[in-house]
Structure 1
C-alpha cells in the first residue's frame, strides 16, 4: 500500500468512526465490534483518527508476565508450535497473550522484525483494549469470545491494514487465562477470507485449554465424553475432573456448558464456575452407578461406554483417564481397576445389548433376578424384544432345565384363554379332548410361565390368575380338586398399567403380584447400541442360513442407523431377513433393503403407552415411550405466577426440601429421571422458587 493510499484509507476510517460517535449512546450495540468502539469512545476516551505507537513492555515486566504464565506456557508450547507450522508462509504471525493482553509467546518471520514490532505483532506487545483500541486480543478479553478484527474493524488508524483473529483460553474455573491470536500485516479486503483462520484458532485454543486442564488435574480421575464414539478418546469435547466419590470438582468449557444446560444445576452467577460448584455427582449426571463408571475400561474393549444424560436423555460416549500415581494403600478399592467389580458374564443376557446405558441397566437387573423366584414385569413398546429378554432370563436361571411356556394374551380369543391357561378335565365342554388337557400353568410347573401382553387379559381371568399366584395351585375347568404348581411368572406389556388401573381396566392387586421387579426395554430409536444389535442379528441370520460371507455395505449400516424403527427390534429382524433374501450376492446393498417408513426419531408412536404415568409411577423410573426433552411442552416462564397449579406445587415442594432431589422424588413417589422431566416440562430453575406462604 502506497503512502498516499494509506493516508486516504486512514482519513476514510476516521470519518466512519466520527459518524459512529454521533449516534445516540448505544452501550449495548448489537455486534461486538460496535460495542468495542463505544467502549473506546465512552469509557477509554480514545480519539478517532489517532495513530498510537505499539506499546511494548520492558524485559523485566515481560519476565514477570511470563513467570506468572509459566505452567500454561509449558503446556501450550506444543500447540503453539503446531499451529504456527500450519500458518507459516501464509503471511501470519502468532501471538499467545496472558489474561491482561501482554504477548508472552510469539512466532513470526525474522526478516519482518521491524515492521512487526512497529505494528505491535511482537513479544511483549500490550494489546489491552483501553490502550490499543478495538483489536482482536483486547476485544476478545472484554467479550470473552473468539473473533476476527479485520482491517477497518480496528479503532486505531495505525492498525487498519491488519487482520487479527483471536480465541480465548479459559482455566478450569471458567476464568480467562490467555488469548491465542494469529495476525497478518496485510490481508485480502474480504472478511470471508479469514473464516478458516477463525476456525483454526478456536480449534487450537481449545486443544491448549484441554491440555492445561488435564495437566492441572493429572492427579484426578477425569471423565471425557462426546456424542461421537469414534473421536471421544482422542478429541472428546467434555472433560470432568472427579474426586474419589465421583463428585465433579472441575470442568472444561464444554463441560461447564453441559452443566449450565442442566435446569437442575443451573448457575446462578454470570460466570460458569457456579455450574461446577452446584454440579451433580457424575453418577447422578449419567444416571448410572459409580462402580459401573469405574469399570468402563474393563467392560469395553475400546475403553468407551455409552451413557444417557439424566438431564436431557441425550446419549454420550465416555472414557476414563486415570491418574498416574504411585500405589497408595489408602486409595485401594476406590479408583480405576482396583475398584471395578468383577464383570459377571451371562451369555444369554449379554448378547441382547451392547453398551446402551438403559439396556445395560436392564440387563444388570435381569442378572440379579435370574436366580430368584421373584415374578417380573417387562415393559416396552411392541417389538422391543420382551419375549427375547424373558427367554434369556429363563435360560440363564436355575429353572433352565424345566419348561419355558409362553402365552400371548392378545393373540388368543377371550373365550379360549381360560382353558389355555388353566386346562380342563375330561368332559368339561363340548369339543374338548376326551381325556382333558393340561393348561399352560401346569405345563410350566418347575419352570417359567411367560404371559406376553398381560395388559390385554380380560378382568375375570385376572381374578383367577391372581388366585393361582397367591395360592400356588390351579383348578382346571370342570375339575373338583386343585393341582399344586410351582412356576415363576414373567409378564410383559406395552400398555401403561398404572393408567389402566386408574381406569379400572387392570387389577391393582394382580399388578403388585406380578411386579416383583420391573424391567424396562427402551425403544430401538433411543438405543445407542443399534449398530451392535444390527451386527448381532446379522450374525445370527448368517449362522442360521449358513451364509458366513454375508455382510452389510457401509452405506446400508448408515441407512439402518438413521431409521427411526417404529417397529423396534422386530422390524429390524424383518428388514435384515428381507435384505438377505433379496440380495443377489454376499454384500447387501441399499437396493436390497425394503422401503423404510416410520415416524421421525423420537416421535411417540400411535398406541405406545409404555411406562409410568406423570400422575403416578414407581421407583423403577419407567419412562413414557418416545418421551424426550423435545416432546415436552416448553412454555416460556419468568416467574411462578405463570406456572400451572401443578407446576407451582412442584416449585413449592422443591423449595420446602431445599432442592434435595432425592428427597423430593421420594415424597412424590417417582424416580429421579421422572422428576427431572417434570422440572424441564415447567422450565423450573432454582431462582424461580419462592418461599412457602
Structure 2
C-alpha cells in the first residue's frame, strides 16, 4: 500500500533523528521524544520500514491470559462499564498484560476488519520494542498514563490512530496490565483527547483497587480518604494489615502514604513496612473498633497522617470475624464530655485524658487560645465527676480589678476594711467548698495572691480578710490560660512552685480552625442557640460552607457571636450566607459589590452603585436586596456605612434602620 504524504514526512523526520541529523520535532512532548530516541537508539527500529501488525496465535494468547486470569475476572465489570461510555464516540477498548499483549478487547463488530488491520484487536502486540512509540508500550515502559496522538506514534502505519493508556499496578506497585482506549480516526488537535486521560486513569484505579480487595479479601483491611462522605463508597487508600496492626500490602494511595511516612522518618531498612499505628495517630483498638454510631450515620474514624486529616473505615474480612482481642471496647459514655467533640483527633485525645481525670484530685490546667472553650471543658469535667452535685464556681482572674480580687477570692469578715459589706462576704473559694473552683486566665493573677493561693492548695484551708482562724475547704481546682506559662515564669510573672501545683495534668484545646470536626461544632453551637431562643430556623448550605471556610481567630466564642447575629437579623425561617457578619462571608462578601459595580459599567464606587440602584427602585430596600441576592439588614448596614438616607427619612431627620 503506497504511503501517504503525512506518512512520508513522518518517516523522513524520524530517519533524520536516527541518523543523528538535525530534525524538526516541532512541539514534540518530552515523553514522546524520549520514546522515539529509545526506538532508534535502543531498539534499533527502522522508521523507513513500517512493521506489520503482530497478532499472537490462539495458543500464545492463552499463555499470556492465564497469568492474568484473576485480574481479567475482577476487571470485567469495569471494562464493560468504560466501553459503554466510549463506544458511542467511536473508541475501542484494549486490556493488555505487562508485556503489551492485548488479553481482552471491546469493539464494534462493524469495524472488525479495520480494527484487525490497525492492531486494535485481541492478541495484538503493542510492546514498544516491536510497535515503537504507542500509548500501551510507552505506558508499560514509563509506568504512567499517557496519550499518544496520531503522529506521536513511531510507526508510520499508526499515525492515524489516537490512543490513551493507564497502568494497572499490583500491590507492590509494579505494572501488571494496561487499560487503553483507541480510535481509528479523530480530530487532528491533541486537545480533542483531553477527556480520555482522566477517564482511563479513573477506571484503571478502580480495577486496580477491585483486584487489591479481591487479592486480600481474607485480611483485615482499612480504607481511608480525605473526605468522610466518600470513604465507604470510594475511599482512595486501601491497606491490608495483620491483627497486630503490621502492614501486609497497600494500593497506590496507601503506598504513597507509606512512602511519605518513610521520607519523613528515615532511615529504615529496605522493604520495611510501618505499622498502621505509625501511619495514623490512633491506637490499634480505636482503628479496628470503628465507631458504629455518629451524627451522619457513617462509620468512620478520623485520624491524622503526615499532617493530613484522614477518615478511616474498616473493611470486614470475608469468611471470618474480627477477633475480640483486636478491638478495644467502646468506653463508658460520659455525656458531659462526649458532647464536646465528634471525631477530631486532638479533641479525642483531650477527652480521653479528661475521662481519666474527672474523678481524680489532681490539679488540671487547661490551655488553648482565647475562645476555644476552656470553661466549657472545665464545667464538663465537674459535671462528669463525683463532685457534680457540688458547686462550680468560675472566676476570671483577668476580669476582676486587682484591688478587689483578694477580697473576692478569700472573702472578709464584717469591718475588715472600709467600703465592705456590713455582714462581710464568703469568698469564692469558700463558695466552691464541696465542688470545683475554676480559675480562668490564671496567668493574670497578681503575684501577691499567688502566694496565698499556694497556701490554700497545700493546706486546704482559707483565711478570710480580718479573720484570725483559717477555715477548711474541700475544693478541686481547675485552672486555664491562653498565655505561655513557661515564658511568664521565666520573666518572674508567675510562681514556678504554684505552676507545678496547678499543672498536675494539662489539657490543651485545639483552635477551631485546626479542628477536623468543625461541622459538628457549628451544628452544636447553633442547636444550643435555637434552644435558648425557642426558634426553629434552618442553616442553609451556603451559610454552612462559609462558616466552615472561615479562619475563626476568636474560635468558638466568635462562632457563637456570629450565629447569634445571624439569628437576630435573618428574615424568614432560614439563615443564608448574607445573614452572616460580613467578615464571615469571605470572598463571597464582595459578590454584591461586583454586581453593583458591573451594573454601573464597572467604573463606580460601591456607594455610587448602591445609591443608583436604590433610586432606580424608588428606595425600596426589599427590591434591591432581592436583586443583589442579599438580606434587607445587609442593605441597611451598607446604607448606614455610606450615609445613604432616603429623601423622606432625610426630611424627618431619621437614619435607615431595618
TM-score, normalised to structure 1, is 0.80
CA distance in 2, matches of 1:106, 1:422: 87
Query: Does the CA contact (< 8 Å) of 2:578 and 2:585 recur in 1?
Result: no
Instruction: Output aligned runs, 1:636-651, within 5 Å.
Output: none
Shift of 1:411: 1.0
Query: Does the CA contact (< 8 Å) of 1:299 and 1:343 recur in 2?
Result: no
- 1:260-311 superposed Cα distances (whole Å, 9 cap, x missing partner): 2236556889xxx96xx44432223221122221221424363443534252
1:421 to 409, 414, 419: 409
Secondary structure of the 1:371 match is coil
Query: Does the CA contact (< 8 Å) of 1:267 and 1:278 recur in 2?
Result: no
1:8 to 5, 9, 22: 5
CA distance in 2, matches of 1:11, 1:414: 94
Query: Does the CA contact (< 8 Å) of 1:223 and 1:319 recur in 2?
Result: yes
Secondary structure of the 2:253 match is helix
Query: Does the CA contact (< 8 Å) of 2:546 and 2:584 recur in 1?
Result: no
Which residue is 1:293 aligned to? 287
Shift of 1:235: 0.9
Shift of 1:24: 8.5
Which residue is 1:464 aligned to? 452
Secondary structure of the 1:261 match is helix
Shift of 1:16: 2.6
Which residue is 2:340 aligned to? 352
Query: Does the CA contact (< 8 Å) of 2:441 and 2:481 recur in 1?
Result: yes
Aligned residues: 581
CA distance in 2, matches of 1:492, 1:285: 33
Query: Does the CA contact (< 8 Å) of 1:13 and 1:49 recur in 2?
Result: no
Residues 267 and 481 of structure 1: CA distance in aligned 2, closer, same or farther (over 3 Å): closer
Residues 30 and 481 of structure 1: CA distance in aligned 2, closer, same or farther (over 3 Å): farther
- 1:65-86 superposed Cα distances (whole Å, 9 cap, x missing partner): 1110011111111111111111
Instruction: Output aligned runs, 1:259-270, within 5 Å.
Output: 259-262=258-261
CA distance in 1, matches of 2:506, 2:349: 12
Which residue is 1:554 aligned to? 541
Shift of 1:19: 4.1
Q: Are 1:307 and 2:305 counterparts?
A: no
CA distance in 1, matches of 2:163, 2:305: 41
Residues 377 and 280 of structure 1: CA distance in aligned 2, closer, same or farther (over 3 Å): farther
Instruction: Output aligned runs, 1:469-508, within 5 Å.
Output: 469-508=457-496
Q: Are 1:324 and 2:306 counterparts?
A: no
CA distance in 2, matches of 1:169, 1:307: 29
CA distance in 2, matches of 1:310, 1:132: 43
Larger RCO, structures 1/2 (Cα 8 Å, 6+ apart): 1
Q: Are 1:17 and 2:5 counterparts?
A: no
Residues 149 and 597 of structure 1: CA distance in aligned 2, closer, same or farther (over 3 Å): same
Secondary structure of the 2:506 match is strand
Which residue is 1:282 aligned to? 276
CA distance in 2, matches of 1:523, 1:229: 21
Query: Does the CA contact (< 8 Å) of 1:248 and 1:281 recur in 2?
Result: yes
Query: Does the CA contact (< 8 Å) of 1:304 and 1:317 recur in 2?
Result: no
Q: Which has the larger radius of gyration?
A: 2
Q: Are 1:521 and 2:518 counterparts?
A: no
CA distance in 1, matches of 2:114, 2:450: 90
Residues 92 and 340 of structure 1: CA distance in aligned 2, closer, same or farther (over 3 Å): same
Which residue is 2:635 aligned to? none
Residues 306 and 544 of structure 1: CA distance in aligned 2, closer, same or farther (over 3 Å): same
Q: Are 1:106 and 2:105 counterparts?
A: yes
Secondary structure of the 2:395 match is strand
Superposed CA RMSD in Å reads: 2.2
Which residue is 1:97 aligned to? 96
Query: Does the CA contact (< 8 Å) of 1:265 and 1:279 recur in 2?
Result: no
Which residue is 1:125 aligned to? 124
Residues 529 and 430 of structure 1: CA distance in aligned 2, closer, same or farther (over 3 Å): same
Instruction: Output aligned runs, 1:54-453, within 5 Å.
Output: 54-262=53-261, 277-300=271-294, 302-312=297-307, 314-327=308-321, 332-335=323-326, 339-453=327-441
Gaps of 5+ in 1: 601-693
Which residue is 1:540 aligned to? 528
Which residue is 1:590 aligned to? 577
Q: Are 1:568 and 2:555 counterparts?
A: yes
- 1:587-644 superposed Cα distances (whole Å, 9 cap, x missing partner): 11222111126999xxxxxxxxxxxxxxxxxxxxxxxxxxxxxxxxxxxxxxxxxxxx
- 1:311-358 superposed Cα distances (whole Å, 9 cap, x missing partner): 22x21222111112235xxx63234xxx24134222222221112121
Shift of 1:206: 0.3
Residues 15 and 219 of structure 1: CA distance in aligned 2, closer, same or farther (over 3 Å): same
Secondary structure of the 1:296 match is coil
Deviates more, 1:456-465 or 1:46-55: 456-465
Query: Does the CA contact (< 8 Å) of 1:575 and 1:594 recur in 2?
Result: yes
Shift of 1:443: 0.9
Shift of 1:89: 2.5
CA distance in 1, matches of 2:585, 2:164: 46
Deviates more, 1:9-18 or 1:37-46: 9-18
Gaps of 5+ in 2: 588-658
CA distance in 1, matches of 2:584, 2:538: 23
Deviates more, 1:48-57 or 1:427-436: 427-436
Shift of 1:249: 2.0
Residues 122 and 221 of structure 1: CA distance in aligned 2, closer, same or farther (over 3 Å): same
1:577 to 537, 553, 564: 564
Query: Does the CA contact (< 8 Å) of 1:260 and 1:267 recur in 2?
Result: no
Which residue is 2:618 aligned to? none
Which residue is 1:36 aligned to? 35
Secondary structure of the 1:49 match is coil
Query: Does the CA contact (< 8 Å) of 2:246 and 2:276 recur in 1?
Result: yes
